[in-house]
A = this chain, B = another copy of it.
Amino acid sequence: MDSFFKVKRPQEVYQIIDAFEALGKETVSTAHAVGRVLSGDLTSPEDLPGFARSTMDGYAVRSKDTYGASESLPALLEASGEVFMGQCPRDAVGPGRAVRISTGGMLPEGADAVVMIEYCHFLDESTLEVSRSVSPLENVIEPGDDFRKGAGVLAGGHALRPQDVGLLAGLGLSELPVYRKPVVALISTGDEIVPVDVLPGPGRVRDINRYTLDAFCRRAGAEPVYAGLCPDDFEPLKDMVEHAMETADTVWISGGSSVGTRDLTLKVFDTLPDFELLVHGISISPGKPTIIGRCGGRPIVGLPGHVASALVVADVFLSRLLDRLSGRRHTGPWRRHEVTATIGRNVESTNGREDYVRVRLVEGPDGLVAEPVFGKSGLISILVASHGLVRVDMNTEGLYEGQQVRVWIPGA
C-alpha cells in the first residue's frame, strides 16, 4: 500500500514539470527560425512602414481638394507625373493636383490621401474627374502604423509562425534570440532488446521504443541523441546514464517491459549525485510506472517499457516537459488539436485514475464517431490503427456509447 500513496495525480505531475526552467539561449538565423521559441521580448528597431505608403492603385491627392465630390458633382484635378515603385516621388502634390500612384508606392509630399482608380476618369490628357471624396489618410498607411520604433512586436516564449518570421525579417532582423532546442538522450534497456538492424533471436525483439521516442522528439522540435542500448545490469546502465547526463538536457530511459528493468532504472537513478525523486508512479493508465526525477537541475525520466504506455506518457507529460525546457509559453486552450466525436461503444474506467483510450475516427451519418481500438495488452498494432486519444476523467466511471467526447490528436 506504500506505493499506492506515492502515486501522483496528473495535475501534480504537471506542476512538477512546470518547475523546470527553460534552457539557455542562442541566436538563430531568421531564415531558420520557424518553430523556434523567442527567448526575449522583441521591440521594433525602426518604424514600419518607414514611409507613408498607398494601399491602393489610384491618385495621390490633397484630400480637401476632393471634399464634396460625387458622381453628379465630381472634383476636377490636374494630373501629372507618376510615383514609381521603390522610388522617392520626384514632385510634390500641390493644391488641385493629382499624381498617379500604385499600391505600395510612397506618398508624395503635399498629398495626404489616395483616390482609388475606380473613381477617377480623364476628361482630357491632364484633367482628372474624381467622383468621390477621400478623408485625410484614406488609403494610406503612415510611418509606424504597423510598429513604431521601440514598440513591442513579439514576446519571449512565443513560438514563431511563418508570419512572425516574415515580419521580423521585414524589420531587418537577420538573427533572432531563441531558446536552445532540448537535447534528449534516449537509453533503451532490457536483455530482450536488439538493435533494429539485427534479426532478433528467439525471445528477442527490436528496439521499437528508441525509434518511437526519437521520432516523437524530432516532431516536437527537440534533438534526440541515442545514448545506447543496455542490458539489465546495474553497472553498464549506471555508466550509460552518467555519460548521457554529461551532454544532454534530459535523459529518458525506456525499453524493457519487465518489472526487473523498472526496478533497475530507479536503483541507478538513486546512485546519481544530487538525484531527487519527484514522481514514482502516476495515476494514469496506461503509463502508471513512470519515474521522474531531477539530477543537477535536469529532468531524468524512466518510462514504462511497453511502447503504447511510453507514448501516452510522452504525449501527456513529456511534450509539456519539452515545451518547458524550450521556453514555450502555453498560449491558450486552443493549442491542442482536438475534435468532437461520439464514442462508438461503452468504455469502462477505474475511478481515481485518468484513463487514455485509443480511438479510431470514422465519419458517420451524424458526424465523427470515435471507435475505441482495443486489443491485448502488449500489442503495437493498436497504436498504428488509432487516430487519437480520449481522456477519461479521474472522477468518471467510464464512457457510454453515444456520449460526446473530445478526441485529442497529439502532434497533429
Cβ distance A204 to chain B, nearest Cβ, rounded Å: 5
Q: When the two chains form their complex, are residues B86 and A204 in contact, meaning their CB atoms are under 8 A apart? A: yes
Contacts A30-B211, A259-B57, A361-B332: A164 and B104 contacting too (C-beta < 8 A)?
Answer: no
Contacts A85-B260, A193-B86, A377-B55: A334 and B305 contacting too (C-beta < 8 A)?
Answer: no
List the B residue with the shortest CB-CB distance to A33. Answer: B215
Copies in the complex: 2
Give the complex CA separation of A307 and B169 in angstroms. 13
Give the complex CA separation of A200 and B381 in angstroms. 57
Cβ distance A287 to chain B, nearest Cβ, rounded Å: 14
Q: When the two chains form their complex, are residues B88 and A192 in contact, meaning their CB atoms are under 8 A apart? A: no
Instruction: Say yes or no for A293: interface residue by CB 8 A criterion.
Output: no
Give the complex CA separation of A107 and B357 in angstroms. 28
Q: When the two chains form their complex, are residues A103 and B305 in contact, meaning their CB atoms are under 8 A apart? A: yes
Chain B neighbourhood of A86, CB < 8 A: 190-193, 203-204
Instruction: Say yes or no for A213: interface residue by CB 8 A criterion.
Output: yes
Give the complex CA separation of A86 and B305 in angstroms. 14
**Interface residue tally for chain A (C-beta within 8 Å):** 109
The DSSP consensus for interface residues of chain A is loop
Q: When the two chains form their complex, are residues A378 and B141 in contact, meaning their CB atoms are under 8 A apart? A: yes
List the B residue with the shortest CB-CB distance to A231. Answer: B86
Chain B neighbourhood of A28, CB < 8 A: none
Q: When the two chains form their complex, are residues A55 and B378 in contact, meaning their CB atoms are under 8 A apart? A: yes
Chain B neighbourhood of A378, CB < 8 A: 53, 55, 103-104, 141
Chain B neighbourhood of A200, CB < 8 A: 50
Q: When the two chains form their complex, are residues B334 and A211 in contact, meaning their CB atoms are under 8 A apart? A: no
Give the complex CA separation of A141 and B376 in angstroms. 7
Could you pull out 17 A-B pairs where Cβ atoms are within 8 angstroms?
A31-B211, A55-B377, A57-B259, A83-B203, A85-B192, A86-B190, A103-B259, A104-B258, A145-B379, A162-B411, A163-B384, A172-B197, A332-B387, A333-B363, A334-B339, A334-B368, A337-B337
- In order of increasing CB-CB distance, the 9 nearest A-B pairs are A166-B212, A86-B192, A106-B203, A102-B258, A104-B257, A169-B211, A34-B215, A162-B215, A170-B208
